[in-house]
Structure 1
């Protein structure tokens, strides 16, 4: 329930077109809905501007299905991250318009039209192996109402590929750089643009990559000013932050 809906509810009570008991029932779930195993934060969109997102990893198919079924009674768009195909198929039974992105492992249910920003977010990936994390960032940014440009496989091992896409990257309001291995892409891109850059280390790499730790440390120690860093494989966090910056 957003602020406009609350206003209409109270006006209905005042005008006598809505019974107080019915209004109270609608308002009792405003802070959160207790499903027993989860408490859905219905107040989040009022506080921070974006509705609650479902992190599906670690949850059972039935738990995710129940959460989505409840959220589907509201008018906000729904995003589930780190979801399995089995979760999607279960949700599809309740929400025929649900969509699954196998690369990003996201489930989206669009309840209302998404008006995209004129400015865009550039999501830049070092290699094809980084696409799952990059696509999670892109899908997150898009369902939050942002135009996204994807630039893939432009890592430093063939840096000429990056230079051929610089015009598109520089035209973005904010850039997300996704890289595994040694994570050098974010420093290179950060030194070529005048926009804020969000670096995303991925767990892609051989043994001494330590599951993304080497890329994380490279990005944290970058000498390219204007760079922020999210956690390993956290495409969602990067897409969310980029959306906030893009809409400033």
Structure 2
């Protein structure tokens, strides 16, 4: 069976190692291959091995294989604040690479709950929601209470005070009583996209 995804981290790799890692990823013949947390220089090295690679600078995600044509399965990615956008972008780029029809609703954290309520119809139009939130991680739980759609929560490492690099958001989400809520690891937007692809297959 053909694997759904092949993924590698770019952190700490020099140009030669990036090229070699990309060749290894492509050799797996996965549906989609990704290189995560890449710098611009690492992307340039990756493109030598995969000329069609696409770079998403804010998140550092490199999509090594060409995205498939979008299919009519609407997925909405929400970000609580602008600081969560790198993780939201990684989730969006990953979902798009799998052919999902993905869109973004940004800056709808619960500190301004009226902004989330104003887009409630868009939540119900999606088949699945991916929600990136740091600080206290409240947005995914609130979103799961507002809609009957499955929600994948991505706790992010942004925040101040006692946020603990995303640990506060992760703990809050793991203890959430909201129905239909799944939780990834901290900053794992790509993991949320892979889970969405598997859930919607």
Q: TM-score, normalised by structure 2?
A: 0.91
Larger radius of gyration between Structure 1 and Structure 2: 1
Distance in 2, Cα, partners of 1:202 & 1:210: 10
Describe the SS at the equivalent of 1:53.
strand
Whether 1:215 aligns to 2:169 is: yes
Distance in 2, Cα, partners of 1:122 & 1:230: 16
Distance in 1, Cα, partners of 2:108 & 2:120: 10
Gaps of 5+ in 1: 1-45
Gaps of 5+ in 2: none
Query: In the alignment, is the contact (CA less than 8 A) between 1:79 and 1:143 conserved in 2?
Result: no
Q: CA deviation at 1:211?
A: 0.6
Whether 1:115 aligns to 2:49 is: no
Greater RCO (Cα-Cα under 8 Å, separation 6 or more): 2
User: What's the C-alpha RMSD, in Å, of the aligned pairs?
Assistant: 1.9
Whether 1:85 aligns to 2:16 is: no
Whether 1:236 aligns to 2:190 is: yes
**Residue in 2 aligned with 1:165?**
119
Distance in 1, Cα, partners of 2:6 & 2:176: 32
Q: TM-score, normalised by structure 1?
A: 0.75
Which of the numbers 6, 9, 16 marks the counterpart of 1:62? 16
Distance in 1, Cα, partners of 2:157 & 2:91: 15
Rate the CA distance shift 1:74–1:242 in 2: closer, same or farther, 3 A. Answer: closer
**Over 6 Å off, 4+ runs:** none
Distance in 2, Cα, partners of 1:234 & 1:72: 22
CA offset digits 1:144-164 (Å, max 9, x no partner): 221111111100111111112
Query: In the alignment, is the contact (CA less than 8 A) between 1:130 and 1:202 conserved in 2?
Result: yes
Which of the numbers 104, 115, 118 marks the counterpart of 2:59? 104
